[in-house]
Structure 1
């Protein structure tokens, strides 16, 4: 396959994702709290991808400010990621609709009743995370316009199943809406593989942390550049009665502090001082604070250095547009290098 044919084939593979996102390439930026803010989000969109603001624990006013600031930096489409357990979710949805955000990603659990429809009625396209086929089908029936599947190789909050297995289970089963694959993708060849399996696009988080436009502290970026895949480990659940979503991060003293904090929260839960939702929110607040210390303040020893296993493929600081171009070039080169036909096979 020559280069021109390879480029045409790649365009065909992710045409559905590109049309859905309204971007040149169907490459979404993963929503990383404190990292996925106006500068990186606009850089991803300006580079041809699709940036996504990580709302995290922002108040409605803070989210409104962030959206408007991003709109000043890019005229390209971008989205907003909202955590479904946020106590002000309804108000945050209102801010997204008020500011004319075209796409909203609902993450962190099943969306509460009416959330998807409210967004759709307001003109936004809704994307939801699905960790299993049954849940993906339920979300589509509930009105989700697209599904994101994220494997355990990802950084931050993770599920128990690998990206490759999720892709094999879900891609053949969900055809009515676009499906985007995330978790552990660091090279264009892997991106191409998922597109050929039926994905409409991909989502990258870890790969963008060391972009020059990323506001992550130099210490945070250095930790990424030094790390290998095996350094990014999931947190441990201490009590099976108390389900805690694992978080993948580079191992440091912050991980130990989380285990201590988890014991304290479980003890308070056992004493009846906290109900399950309140306990989970305390844990989320812990992660938000620990992540801020690492990303913004540069405390990579006691802060949380959330990273996916693809961190070993992050070897230098690059402009966001260059990272995207590298991914595209790797995919096109992989296609162009292929031999086709039985005769080629016989020559090997």
Structure 2
């Protein structure tokens, strides 16, 4: 590893490492059923910054997960909470009671009350921003850092690419650290965003195949077999039945989802179902599908959420080796 490159890298992401308290400003993306104690602790122990994906957990489960993670690492890590969770207040209280140092709010614009509660126990608050205007508003509201995530990411996605978001937001949001996410699979990309003004990067897909990740072997093999073009966004058939875009690997389930939408549209047009009933059927189609894929290994009908960087996933290896490779690539790039 080039000493010159490493010195430059350390300088470029110093704001990010100071903010996170980690050796490297590489966050683990919060992936439901995937980003639990083992992977989170492994990322933090390897010098990155792990983030627990609370997802649909209740307060008791989250408390147990925080304690279990802390038993595996003495390094900093964060907790990702979904703003639409019905027990959000109680989950924030759990984070406060367990001394969580960093809270990430995702899934929608957080309320002033939620922001105030998180700030009240001294945690650093990180929020996702899809536009420069919203990023500035979140900073004014109390966000201590911003994450911008492009449509190349896995899971629920927005309509704009990472490179465009970076160009729009990095030059104008300077008051707080900004972390870039979505489609990042190599260290050179991390370094280039740092040169543009980012304080660090967030990666999810690369860590799915980590040895410490508890995802089913079938799930990991699906990632290794896939290329970038296999990670597709869910298709909306009819604007009367909106579909929130989700990026996942094309499989029997994604094909069946499109067929199901078409059937529901036809039934609606024939007066056999109401628009509300049809919408509910569409929204319930993927119920439990992510768990089926990650936990049970059903990669045919389950939802194999993956970012377009999946084509750079080649083998199962320890988390530390993944992070070392990313840092090495960034250093080589910066030394040239």
Q: Any conservation in 1 of the 2:17–2:24 contact (CA below 8 Å)?
A: yes
Matches of 2:66 and 2:293, distance apart in 1: 24
Matches of 2:213 and 2:63, distance apart in 1: 20
Deviation at 1:258, TM superposition (A): 3.7
Aligned partner of residue 147 in structure 1, secondary structure: strand
Matches of 1:159 and 1:271, distance apart in 2: 25
Question: CA 1:243/1:134 → structure 2, altered by over 3 Å: closer, same or farther?
Answer: farther
Deviating more after overlay: 239-248 vs 264-273 = 264-273
Instruction: Give the root-mean-square deviation of aligned CA atoms.
Output: 2.1
Q: Any conservation in 2 of the 1:119–1:126 contact (CA below 8 Å)?
A: yes
Q: Which residue in the other structure is 2:53 paired with?
A: 54
Q: Deviations over 1:200-238 (max 9, x none)?
A: 000000000000000010100100000000000000123
Question: CA 1:75/1:162 → structure 2, altered by over 3 Å: closer, same or farther?
Answer: same
Matches of 2:194 and 2:237, distance apart in 1: 38
Deviating more after overlay: 262-271 vs 8-17 = 262-271
Q: Which runs of 5+ in 2 are unaligned?
A: none
Aligned partner of residue 114 in structure 1, secondary structure: helix
Aligned 1:1-348 pairs, distance under 5 A:
3-259=2-258, 270-272=274-276, 283=283, 287=286, 289-336=288-335, 338=336
Deviation at 1:108, TM superposition (A): 0.6
Q: Any conservation in 1 of the 2:112–2:141 contact (CA below 8 Å)?
A: no
Deviation at 1:109, TM superposition (A): 0.8
Deviation at 1:244, TM superposition (A): 3.1
Question: CA 1:141/1:263 → structure 2, altered by over 3 Å: closer, same or farther?
Answer: farther
Deviating more after overlay: 231-240 vs 18-27 = 231-240
Deviation at 1:153, TM superposition (A): 0.5
Matches of 2:113 and 2:305, distance apart in 1: 32
Q: Any conservation in 2 of the 1:227–1:311 contact (CA below 8 Å)?
A: yes
Deviation at 1:6, TM superposition (A): 1.6
Question: CA 1:239/1:113 → structure 2, altered by over 3 Å: closer, same or farther?
Answer: farther
Matches of 2:3 and 2:246, distance apart in 1: 42
Matches of 1:45 and 1:142, distance apart in 2: 29
Q: Which runs of 5+ in 1 are unaligned?
A: 339-348
| TM-score, normalised with respect to structure 1 | 0.90
Question: CA 1:15/1:262 → structure 2, altered by over 3 Å: closer, same or farther?
Answer: farther
Matches of 1:26 and 1:206, distance apart in 2: 17
| TM-score, normalised with respect to structure 2 | 0.93
Question: CA 1:73/1:244 → structure 2, altered by over 3 Å: closer, same or farther?
Answer: same
Aligned partner of residue 87 in structure 1, secondary structure: coil
Q: Any conservation in 1 of the 2:80–2:106 contact (CA below 8 Å)?
A: yes
